[in-house]
Chain A
Amino acid sequence: QSVLTQPPSVSGAPGQRVTISCTGSSSNLGGGYDVNWYQQLPGTAPKLLIYANTNRPSGVPDRFSGSKSGTSASLAITGLQTEDEADYYCQSYDSGLSGSVFGTGTKVTVL
């Protein structure tokens, strides 16, 4: 039921930079609503990584950065580390749903 589309997987070697895209529509990202990003390690609850497009909560390394333009958003991880291997989800508000919507999720693999 996700209306935010992400690539199923991305991978990179330690130290490299990877990006994850999140594509929405006029009822969510394109409607001016912000995007948030979450990291989910295996067997755990999601953890807020980026909020309001570009902001990092306290404690999140600055290796993680976010951007948004129009109906799309991106999460970048620079200096990839083995502990970054996880699933990542984008999330926004959707006016058609009148509620929150999550992305399809992206598995990051560190080679």
Chain B
Amino acid sequence: QEQLQQWGAGRLKPSETLSLTCAVYGGSFSAYYWSWVRQSPGQGLEWIGEINYSGSITYNPSLKSRVTMSRDTSENRVFLKLTSVTAADTALYFCARGPRGPGWFFDLWGRGTLVTVSS
């Protein structure tokens, strides 16, 4: 069964770098786009960026200067790095399959990794 498992440091200090990994199990990796989405406490969802079949990456302009996404096709993993974090980056970070298909949707999600930024 397809599933996404994600992990990374859950507690950071301001100015540190957030680093998360998302591993894809049970399904094709290179056939899909993969994205990161975050949700601040009590808030809505924010798309961070996506990496496509060929490895091309698109970032949300609001985070572009601080974010780096990458992938390892040999291990079916996607990575997220966010530099110079502040309290505003405290959020639940999800990896997701997509966007894809008619509608450009996200149809498979990780369980989320809570990242707290505090001094």
Chain A residues with a Cβ under 8 A of chain B: 1-2, 33-36, 38, 44-48, 51-53, 55, 57, 89, 91-93, 97-105
Contact = CB atoms under 8 A, between A and B. Distances in A.
A100 B109 contact: no
Interface residues of B, number: 27
A99 B45 contact: no
B49 A51 contact: no
Nearest to A44: B111
A100 B102 contact: no
Given A2-B44, A46-B106, A52 B112 contact: no
B58 interface: yes
Interface string B77-109: 000000000000000001010010111111101
Closest A-B pairs by Cβ, 5 of them = A52-B103, A45-B109, A52-B102, A34-B103, A102-B45
Contacts, number: 79
A31 B60 CA distance: 19
B72 interface: no
A93 B104 contact: yes
Contact of B105 (A2, A48, A104): A48
A103 B44 CA distance: 7
12 contacts: A1-B60, A1-B62, A35-B103, A38-B106, A45-B94, A45-B109, A45-B112, A52-B105, A55-B103, A57-B107, A92-B104, A103-B44
